[in-house]
Structure 1
Amino acid sequence: MAMASRFPDHKFGRLTLRIARDDADLAQVAQLRRVRFRDNRGADMDQFDPLCAHLLVVEGDDPAALACARLRLLDGPELDDCYSAQFYDLSPLARAGLRGLELGRVCIASDRRQDPDILRALLAGIALHSDAEKVDLLLGCASFKGDDPARHAAALGWLKARHTGPSGLCPLKRAPLAFDLPMPGDLADQKAAMQSIPPLLRLYLGLGGWVSDHAVRDPNLDTLHVFTAVEVARIPTARKKLLMGMTQPR
């Protein structure tokens, strides 16, 4: 909760971005995540939550959270002790001495998922945080719904062909359920596959992001995911200014 005092609320049109401040805010985070990640059948909070700030999107004077995202600042060796490090060996990033902002558990209320401004607001909040904390790298696990690799083979092949990261930074395998990204199909299949990539991952790729050369099955959440990183210095300047410029202090 320490980050709450360092970041003021920001307006994003009719929406407001703010950091969770108290137990009531965290209860809203828990409910959003329960619906999104557990099909409303179990708690989703874990041991990493107390180490993180929780970014909320609210509308007008209504305190109800419409969306949330979990943020954690990571310096060097801390990269070996974060959520993503459970699944990926991040030692290449740790050796590089990069300052990271881990993003996770991004979710939007089920009745507002068609509102594009909410996701844009979350991205703007992430951009503001990364700029204020002088972050080198945004990182996290980008998830596909359903943990059967065959279901996502075309999309994963597209990622392998076009978006795998540099060898000096790309994480190594750690999880028992890790598997190499499959070889891409023909061009027509790849174009269709691009459309099946989750919207949040497409946005990260649009910022110049890259993914690991392998994915990991997560039967616990019935997902599979790829490690995803965005090197802040490589984000197109115009895109970064646009994101940050769409907000103003409240």
Structure 2
Amino acid sequence: MTIPDAFHDHNFGRLTLRVAQSEGDLAQVAQLRRVRFRGNRGADLDRFDPLCDHLLITEAETEGALACARLRLLDGPALDECYSAQYYDLSPLVRARLRALELGRVCIADDRRQDPDILRALLAGIARRAEAQSVDLLIGCASFKGDEPGRHKAALGWLRARHTGPAELCPAKRDPLAFDLPQPGDIADQKGAMQSIPPLLRMYLGMGGWVSDHAVRDPNLDTLHVFTAVEIARIPPNRKRLLMGMAQSR
């Protein structure tokens, strides 16, 4: 993917966001992913990495990556050949002729996960890319830690009741480990159910995002995930202004 010069290096106060290009940059991304997704026990690499751009956030006073995410611009049939399409049948999005930016492997260093500026900088970088490349929607797989469905029943029921996507765009099942989101029933602790949704997914939902009507277990990473999409045109105007304001600031 060709990267405009404007995306190579962007400052957010003490933080710098750039697209990883050098071997050193890519090594920082690989190490952060190794720790966050594999417990520092083996590389977290796959066949999609060479097809993607890797955003990297660093700080002058700190060694190593503070956060990273990988992005891939997708048009037409390419949508059904992306990472998410391993698990979900994305033919509805292909038929709709939508231009998507796939987000994946979004992670923040363990000791900096409470630093709101890092997530804001990462979001601003993604917003700049989406705006510059005329993207219709952001897509990806939003994960829950632990692949036992019963552990996440309340959160998944909440998603089914309030946040499943439109029938004309929602993906169909593809993976043998897919299962329907559970019926919400009577969720007595609505606040608890909402808070048990991973922060990144809550953020996407806050931007008007939606999820698939089913989830997929991933024993390899000890997670389960739902397909997640954010239609750019449906992001609330105040949220969009905030994101683009951050994206344009230095």
Aligned to 1:246, what secondary structure does the other structure show? helix
Aligned to 2:44, what secondary structure does the other structure show? coil
Aligned residues with identical type, % of pairs: 78
What letter matches 1:87 in structure 2?
Y
Contact 2:71 2:103 in 1 (8 A): yes
Moved more, 65-74 or 51-60: 51-60
Moved more, 30-39 or 183-192: 183-192
Contact 1:155 1:190 in 2 (8 A): no
Q: Which residue of 1 aligns with 2:12?
A: 12
Moved more, 66-75 or 55-64: 55-64
Q: Which residue of 1 aligns with 2:186?
A: 186
Q: Which residue of 2 aligns with 1:132?
A: 132
Query: Equivalents in 1 of 2:42, 2:241: separation in Å?
Result: 39
Q: Which residue of 1 aligns with 2:209?
A: 209
Contact 1:161 1:184 in 2 (8 A): yes
Deviations 1:2-42 (A, max 9, x none): 32646242222221211101111111111000011101101
Q: Which residue of 1 aligns with 2:102?
A: 102
Scaled by the length of structure 1, the TM-score of the pair is: 0.96
Query: Equivalents in 2 of 1:119, 1:201: separation in Å?
Result: 13
Contact 1:165 1:211 in 2 (8 A): yes
Moved more, 113-122 or 159-168: 113-122
Contact 2:187 2:193 in 1 (8 A): no
Give how far 1:128 is off: 0.7
What letter matches 1:240 in structure 2?
K
Aligned to 2:188, what secondary structure does the other structure show? helix
Query: In the alignment, does 2:45 pair up with 1:48?
Result: no
Aligned to 1:30, what secondary structure does the other structure show? helix
Aligned length: 250
Q: Which residue of 2 aligns with 1:123?
A: 123
Contact 2:67 2:118 in 1 (8 A): yes
Map 1:59-208 → 2, pairs under 5 A: 59-60=59-60, 64-208=64-208
Query: Equivalents in 2 of 1:55, 1:220: separation in Å?
Result: 24
Give how far 1:175 is off: 0.1
Aligned to 1:55, what secondary structure does the other structure show? strand
Query: Equivalents in 1 of 2:67, 2:15: separation in Å?
Result: 11
What letter matches 1:88 in structure 2?
Y
